[in-house]
């Protein structure tokens, strides 16, 4: 991360009269170089190639006064970071990307600070991001900002710039010295419909006309520079470091180039900006000091002199940086910087001196890129230690709860208390270490008090859990770790795996089902065999159908074909997704109810929730995106924009409100999916409960589908189809787990020579009034870590299938405008977040279902536990109705957290080891950031699932069935 210096450049008598008195700086946001080049790639697009032709026409007609450069925009290619780079002459960093939705003012030196110090008047019109970073710089009567985040509005910002630009250009009193006009239409068209669309051609034609009119109104004393701040990828998005995202155009239609540039191919050459604004042309035409990276101003028109002064400016900036607290970052490269800076003074040939000066800038550029992509090895090591120890501690918690069996509640309470005390002690030790670092800064310095205390607290609590519950004590405990998890985690060391993770995840998901399929072939009954094999095939089929939806990384070309969008250069959905959207939304509720009907748990709240709340909510979500498609493609013709915008905004608002408020309230008040009837026959009262066999799982599914409706509605049409298949895959897998659990329970009963318990437990599961001996906690198959792996992988698969990748450019900004036509905080940010990481959150919340599905609230006795009297061991204490299912749901949640923690650890280790890899910022760092977000979302999902969903469901079950069979001592039968 780069340190912002507070130094302000100043000089006296170091500049001659400028060649121009005023400057007009026009930014066409996302102006990719191939939009203006005279030699576009083949095949040329009729929508964005050979459309904006004025720059090349001027270059051909006036080669001494115009140029076109292919400028490299250092990533991240987001507008805020590009503005910082353009005005300060510094490199942006990926750490800044999070500030793009909420910019803060720039505190370091910039060209606008120099303008103000020189008494110059600056005018501005366009993207209001400039107002956030330079709030008090522009003249109030010449400042016209417009909302920059309303990507659905293709014209308001540009029309505003045009409205205010030309009056200032035509004003004979010359009211401004420096004017910035920031057009956003090209960028918004790219986000809205992609570059291959008639709207892009119309927008570029408009820019062509505007530039022509600007040139017609310029006098000889006004300099004009036109450039893009970044490019856009094939689908119109940006933010990363893809070739098309970093390729942008810069052109100077009114410059008189130095004579030394004769023979230089100005229309195809590359220019890197801004690491210190490599081109000296602007500095030769103004009488201003440049920002802190330009400590000396330039004089005259000589290219040699301009380059020499540019090199000196950069060198002076680096000297100031080396004197700062972060100056040690330059130590490794300082010798090469000094040598490259001194070489031009030893050269006498003009041509060789130009080469040496240019090389000096390149050496500085390379050093700064390496420096500001610098990693703190101490903090990295601390982070990796905490991740590794946290993973081991969570595994120890999983093993401890599993081994505690029916006593998992008291065990958990005791061990968590110990970890809390240890964490407090570790925080105190961290505080002591921080105080020691003040005394011995050379040994312990460099970290702040928060780093030390957090490290000590987390490390101490993790070590305490590991020691009190050793996670790996035997060969079986080691072999219980799924090989899929190990392979998935270590594979991040391969950049090829990271490129193609979206294609490998479905293979891992289907492979994780193989042990269950094998178990199905050996099941003792034909019904169980058919269920296990059939539902396994259904899961695999849905995973394969999800794989059809793809969005391609740049590195996957040319072996990847985009199917999530209509094409790689459009952001509208394929026509087949539009046709299937409504049928899928209507059918999904019926499919869910069909699964519930297997256990006859489609009663109670389910009868109201699915047809009257869930279905309308997801249908409104489908209709929203259908109307958005109609608006984007002008399917209804011109003049419908306002009507379609109004209709879809209210569809989204009503859909979200309906499912969250009405659905949430109904579920919370009446959570269970059962019907209870009381009959009096022969003077006896008979109670019949329908839905008893799935009393825990079905109400939690209702809770889960409330959140499913939210994520479903936020996803674009192909993503909705993917979530539909993912939901079916989840339900199919739950049936597989239930059937395999039945098989293992039968095997366990036969092994213990108690086959009669199978019939007894089967009868009591279907009817809670059947009298019988409560089963032992050990009579049912134990929960295994591998049981949750297919669900965890399904979440990742749904993430990729809904049009996402571990890249910034895959963020679907359209979701920000679901609830309003403009950016509205916090709703716009929330809908983007839900669209992006909602699938992972959704299937993390589904993890408890693995422990709840098809589990009846049966009376259960603790194994090897004595009655409260403790007089003999012939009695056992009956447990709460929810003891076993709550224990298994917690294990499922922990297993999901472990899986994603292991993935994050693998991504972190790969980023640390390969931090000097050529593709660290392109591949490993983005996957690491995606891993961090994924784990945070998983933790949030399982926390909401356990605290809200499981607790409410189990309370409802105990309130109803606890009255039917209270706790009682039971004679222990023969074993």
pLDDT tens sequence across 568-606:
877 889 999 999 999 999 999 999 999 999 999 999 999
Interacting residues of 361 by C-beta distance below 8 A, sequence separation 6+: 276, 278, 307, 310, 311, 314
- The whole-number pLDDT of residue 299 equals 37
Taking alpha carbons only, the member of 799, 649, 635, 814 closest to residue 716 is 814
Rounded average pLDDT over 840-844: 96
pLDDT at position 33:
92
pLDDT confidence tier of residue 555, bands split at 50, 70 and 90:
confident
Cβ proximity of 186 and 151 under 8 Å: no
Q: What is the pLDDT of residue 297?
A: 34
Residue 511 is encoded by which pair of tokens? 């492979």
Lowest mean pLDDT among 77-81, 384-388, 423-427: 77-81
| 911-939: pLDDT as tens digits | 888 876 666 777 888 899 899 999 999 99
The answer to which of 89-103, 507-521, 552-566 has the lowest mean pLDDT is 89-103
Q: How confident is the model at residue 879 (pLDDT cuts 50, 70, 90)?
A: low
User: How far is 782 from 778, CA to CA, in rounded Å?
Assistant: 8
**CA–CA dist 282, 302 (Å, integer):** 13
Residue 865 clears pLDDT 50, i.e. is over it: no
Higher-pLDDT residue of 345 and 561 is 561
What pLDDT is attached to residue 378? 81
pLDDT band at 508 (very low <50, low <70, confident <90, very high): very high
Q: What is the pLDDT of residue 899?
A: 95
The predicted model gives 245-268 an average pLDDT of: 61
Closest CA to 489 of 345, 612, 580, 387: 387
Whether residue 670 has pLDDT greater than 80: yes
Arithmetic mean of pLDDT, 862-869: 48
Q: What is the pLDDT of residue 281?
A: 35
Q: How confident is the model at residue 647 (pLDDT cuts 50, 70, 90)?
A: very high
**Residue 177 gets which letter from DSSP?**
S
The pLDDT of residue 778 is 59
User: Using CA atoms, how far apart are residues 447 and 434, in angstroms rounded to an integer?
Assistant: 8
Given a cut of 50, whether residue 545 has pLDDT beyond it is: yes
Q: Can you give the pLDDT at residue 923?
A: 81
Q: Which of 37-51, 409-423, 620-634, 957-971 has the lowest mean pLDDT?
A: 957-971
Nearest of 283, 279, 285, 304 to residue 295 by alpha carbon: 283
pLDDT recorded at residue 176:
92
Residue 86 neighbours by CB under 8 Å, 6+ apart: 27, 229, 273, 274, 277
pLDDT bracket for residue 618 (50, 70, 90): very high
Q: CA-CA distances (angstroms) from residue 177 to 13, 112, 161, 184?
A: 20, 11, 17, 23
Which position has the higher pLDDT, 696 or 104? 696
Are the C-beta atoms of 703 and 606 separated by less than 8 Å?
no
Between residues 198 and 970, the one the model is more confident about: 198
Task: Tell the residue number behind the tokens 């996670």, with chain if given.
Answer: 471
Q: What pLDDT does residue 825 have?
A: 83
Q: 52: closest CA among 234, 249, 271, 338? A: 249
Summarised one tens digit per residue, pLDDT across range 656-666 is: 999 999 999 99
pLDDT surpasses 80 at 289:
no
- Residue 605 to residues 669, 677, 698, 709, 881: CA-CA distances in angstroms? 10, 15, 10, 17, 21
Question: Rounded to an integer, what distance in angstroms lies between the CA atom of residue 596 and that of residue 854?
Answer: 10
User: Residue 12: what pLDDT?
Assistant: 56
Mean per-residue pLDDT, 428-447 = 79
Question: Per the omega criterion (within 30 degrees of 0), is the bond before 558 cis?
Answer: yes
Between 262 and 218, whose confidence is greater? 218
The predicted model gives 713-741 an average pLDDT of: 95
pLDDT above 90: percentage of residues in the chain: 42
Question: Tell me, what's the pLDDT at 478?
Answer: 62
Which of 98-102, 103-107, 677-681 shows the lowest mean pLDDT across its residues? 98-102
Q: Which two tokens stand for residue 11?
A: 């000089």
Instruction: Compute the 3-state secondary structure of the chain and give helix, strand, coil in percent, each to the nearest 5.
Output: 60, 5, 35
The whole-angstrom separation of Cα 606 and Cα 586 is 16
Q: Are 858 and 970 in contact (CB under 8 A)?
A: no
The two structure tokens encoding residue 352: 């060789």
Query: How many CB atoms lie under 10 A from the CB of residue 831?
Result: 25
What are the residues whose beta carbons fall under 8 Å from the beta carbon of 128, sequence distance 6 or more? 145, 146, 147, 148
Q: How far is the C-alpha of 310 from the C-alpha of 300, rounded, in Å? A: 13
Least confident of 225-239, 258-272, 351-365, 375-389: 258-272
pLDDT at 847: 96
Burial of 210 (0-12, 13-18, 19+ CB in 10 A): buried
Q: What is the mean pLDDT of residues 529-555?
A: 93
Least confident of 13-27, 86-100, 780-794: 86-100
Taking residues 35-62, report their average pLDDT: 90
Task: Give the rounded percent of residues in the chain with a pLDDT score beyond 70.
Answer: 83
pLDDT confidence of residue 776: 57
Which of 399-403, 535-539, 715-719, 774-778 has the weakest average pLDDT?
774-778
SS (H, E, C) 832-886: HHHHHHHHHHHHHHCHHHHHHCCCCCCCEECCCCCCCCCCCCCEECECCCCHHHH
Distance from the Cα of residue 3 to its chain's centroid: 26
Out of 81-85, 251-255, 489-493, 647-651, least confident range: 251-255
Question: Of 90 and 280, which is predicted with more confidence?
Answer: 90
pLDDT, averaged across the chain = 82
Helix (H, G, I), strand (E, B) or coil at 678: strand
Q: What is the pLDDT of residue 285?
A: 37
Q: Please check the confidence at residue 634 and state whether its pLDDT lies above 80.
A: yes
CA angle centred on 776, ends 775 and 779, rounded to 5°: 90
Which residues does 429 contact at the CB level (< 8 Å), separation at least 6? 456, 460
Instruction: Check residues 380 and 916 and name the one with the higher pLDDT.
Output: 380
Quickly state the pLDDT bin for 883 (edges 50, 70, 90).
confident
Contact of 67 with 270, CB cutoff 8 Å: no
Q: How many helices (H) and strands (E) does the chain have?
A: 36, 14
- Band of residue 180 on the pLDDT scale cut at 50, 70, 90: very high
In this model, does residue 627 exceed pLDDT 70?
Answer: yes
Report pLDDT for 362: 86
**pLDDT band with cut points at 50, 70 and 90 for residue 15:** low
The answer, yes or no, to whether residue 707 has pLDDT greater than 90, is yes
Please tell me which of 224-238, 387-401, 631-645 the model is most confident about, judged by mean pLDDT.
387-401
If 0-12 CB within 10 Å is exposed, 13-18 middle and 19+ buried, where does residue 348 land?
exposed
Q: If residue 73 lies in a helix (H) or strand (E), which one and from where to where?
A: strand 68-73
pLDDT of residue 771: 42
Residue in 775, 728, 725, 727 with CA at minimum distance from that of residue 754: 775
Q: What is the pTM of this model?
A: 0.78
Decide: residue 556, CB within 10 A, 0-12 exposed, 13-18 middle, 19+ buried.
Answer: middle
Q: Residue 860's beta-bridge partner residues?
A: 775
Burial of 952 (0-12, 13-18, 19+ CB in 10 A): middle
DSSP string, 273-297: ESSS-S--HHHHS------TT--S-
Prior bond of 267 cis (ω within 30°)? no
pLDDT tens, position by position, 112-140: 888 888 888 999 999 988 988 888 889 98
**The sheet that has 178-183: what strands, in order across it?**
143-146, 122-127, 178-183, 22-28, 222-227, 247-251, 68-73, 270-273
Mean pLDDT to the nearest integer, 277-284: 36
Q: What is the pLDDT of residue 973?
A: 37
Instruction: Say which residue, 258 or 126, is predicted with more confidence.
Output: 126
């Amino acid at each position: 991360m780069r340190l912002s210096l507070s130094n302000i450049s100043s000089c006296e008598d170091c500049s001659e009269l400028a060649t121009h008195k005023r400057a007009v700086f026009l930014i066409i946001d996302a102006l990719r170089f191939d939009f203006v080049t005279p030699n576009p790639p083949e095949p040329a697009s009729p929508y964005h190639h050979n459309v904006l032709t004025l720059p090349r026409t001027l270059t051909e007609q006036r080669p001494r006064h115009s140029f076109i450069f292919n400028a490299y925009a250092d990533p991240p290619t987001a507008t805020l970071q590009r503005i910082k780079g353009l005005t300060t002459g510094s490199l942006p960093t990926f750490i800044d990307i999070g500030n793009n939705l909420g910019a803060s003012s720039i505190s370091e030196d910039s060209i606008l600070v120099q303008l103000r110090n020189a008494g110059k008047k600056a005018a501005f019109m366009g993207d209001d991001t400039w107002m956030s970073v330079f709030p008090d710089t522009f003249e109030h009567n010449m400042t016209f900002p417009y909302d920059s985040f309303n990507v659905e509005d293709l014209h308001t910002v540009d029309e505003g710039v045009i409205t205010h630009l030309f009056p200032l250009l035509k004003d004979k009193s010359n009211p401004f010295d420096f004017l910035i006009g920031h057009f956003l239409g090209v960028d918004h068209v790219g986000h809205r419909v992609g570059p291959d669309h008639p709207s892009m051609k119309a927008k570029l034609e408009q820019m062509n006309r505007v530039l022509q009119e600007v040139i017609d109104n310029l006098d000889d004393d006004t300099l004009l520079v036109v450039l893009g701040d970044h490019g856009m990828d094939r689908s119109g998005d940006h933010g990363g470091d893809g070739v098309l995202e970093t390729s942008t155009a810069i052109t100077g239609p009114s410059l008189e180039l130095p004579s030394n540039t004769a023979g230089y191919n100005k229309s195809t050459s590359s220019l890197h900006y801004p690491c210190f604004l490599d081109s000296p042309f602007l500095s030769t035409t103004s009488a201003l000091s440049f920002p802190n990276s330009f400590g000396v101003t330039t004089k005259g028109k000589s290219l040699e002199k301009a380059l020499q002064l540019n090199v000196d400016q950069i060198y002076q900036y680096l000297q100031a940086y080396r004197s700062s607290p972060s100056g040690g970052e330059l130590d490794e490269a300082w010798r090469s910087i000094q040598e490259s800076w001194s070489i031009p003074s030893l050269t006498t040939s003009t041509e060789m001196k130009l080469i040496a000066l240019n090389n000096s800038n390149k050496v500085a550029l390379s050093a700064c890129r390496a420096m500001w992509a610098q990693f703190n090895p101490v903090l990295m090591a601390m982070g990796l230690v905490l991740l590794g120890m946290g993973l081991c501690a969570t595994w120890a918690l999983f093993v401890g709860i599993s081994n505690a069996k029916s006593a998992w509640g008291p065990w958990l309470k005791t061990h968590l208390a110990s970890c809390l005390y240890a964490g407090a002690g570790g925080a105190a030790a961290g505080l002591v270490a921080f105080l020691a670092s003040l005394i011995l800064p050379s040994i312990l310095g460099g970290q702040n008090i928060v780093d030390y205390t957090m490290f000590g607290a987390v490390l101490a609590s993790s070590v305490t859990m590991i020691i009190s519950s050793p996670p790996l004590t035997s060969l079986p405990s080691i072999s219980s770790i799924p090989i899929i998890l190990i392979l998935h985690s270590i594979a991040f060391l391969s950049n090829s795996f990271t490129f193609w993770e979206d294609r490998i995840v479905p293979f891992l998901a289907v492979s994780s089902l193989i042990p269950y399929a094998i178990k199905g072939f050996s099941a003792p009954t034909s019904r169980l065999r058919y269920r296990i094999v059939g539902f396994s095939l259904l899961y695999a089929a849905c995973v394969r159908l999800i794989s059809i939806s793809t969005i391609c990384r740049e590195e996957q070309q040319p072996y990847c074909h985009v199917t999530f969008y209509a094409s790689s250069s459009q952001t509208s959905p394929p026509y087949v997704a539009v046709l299937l959207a409504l049928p899928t939304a209507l059918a999904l509720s019926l499919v869910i109810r069909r699964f519930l009907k297997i256990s006859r748990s489609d009663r109670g709240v389910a009868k109201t929730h699915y047809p009257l709340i869930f279905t309308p909510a997801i249908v409104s979500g489908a209709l929203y995106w259908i109307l958005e498609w109609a608006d984007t493609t002008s399917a209804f013709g011109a003049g419908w924009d306002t009507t379609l915008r109004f209709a879809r905004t209210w569809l989204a608002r009503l859909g979200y409100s309906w499912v969250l408020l009405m659905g949430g309230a109904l579920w919370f008040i009446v959570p269970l999916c059962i019907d209870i009837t009381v009959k009096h026959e022969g003077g006896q009262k008979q109670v019949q409960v329908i839905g008893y066999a799935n009393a825990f799982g079905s109400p939690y599914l209702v809770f889960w589908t409330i959140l499913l409706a939210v994520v479903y509605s936020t996803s674009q049409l192909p993503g909705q189809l993917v979530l539909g298949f993912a939901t079916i895959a989840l339900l199919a897998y739950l049936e597989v787990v239930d059937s395999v659990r039945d098989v293992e329970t039968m095997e366990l009963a036969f092994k213990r020579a108690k086959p009669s318990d199978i019939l007894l437990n089967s009868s009591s599961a279907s009817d809670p009034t059947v009298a019988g001996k409560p089963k032992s906690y050990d009579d049912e198959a134990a929960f295994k870590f591998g049981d949750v792996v297919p669900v965890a992988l399904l979440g990742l698969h749904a993430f990729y299938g809904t049009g996402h990748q571990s890249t910034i450019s895959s963020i679907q900004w359209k979701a920000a405008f679901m609830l309003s036509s403009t950016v509205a905080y916090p709703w716009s940010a929330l809908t983007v977040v839900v669209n992006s990481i909602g699938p992972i959150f959704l299937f993390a919340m589904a993890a408890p279902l693995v422990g709840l599905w098809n589990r009846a609230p049966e009376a259960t006795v603790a194994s090897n536990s004595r009655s409260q009297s403790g007089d003999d061991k012939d009695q056992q204490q009956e447990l709460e109705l929810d003891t076993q299912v709550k224990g298994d749901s917690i294990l499922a949640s922990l297993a999901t957290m472990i899986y994603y923690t292991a993935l994050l650890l693998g991504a972190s280790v790969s980023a640390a080891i390969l931090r000097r890899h050529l593709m660290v910022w392109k591949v490993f760092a983005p996957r690491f950031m995606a891993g961090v977000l994924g784990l945070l979302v998983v933790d949030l999902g399982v926390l909401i699932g356990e605290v809200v969903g499981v607790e409410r469901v189990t309370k409802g079950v105990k309130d109803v069935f606890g009255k039917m069979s209270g706790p009682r001592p039971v004679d222990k039968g023969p074993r």
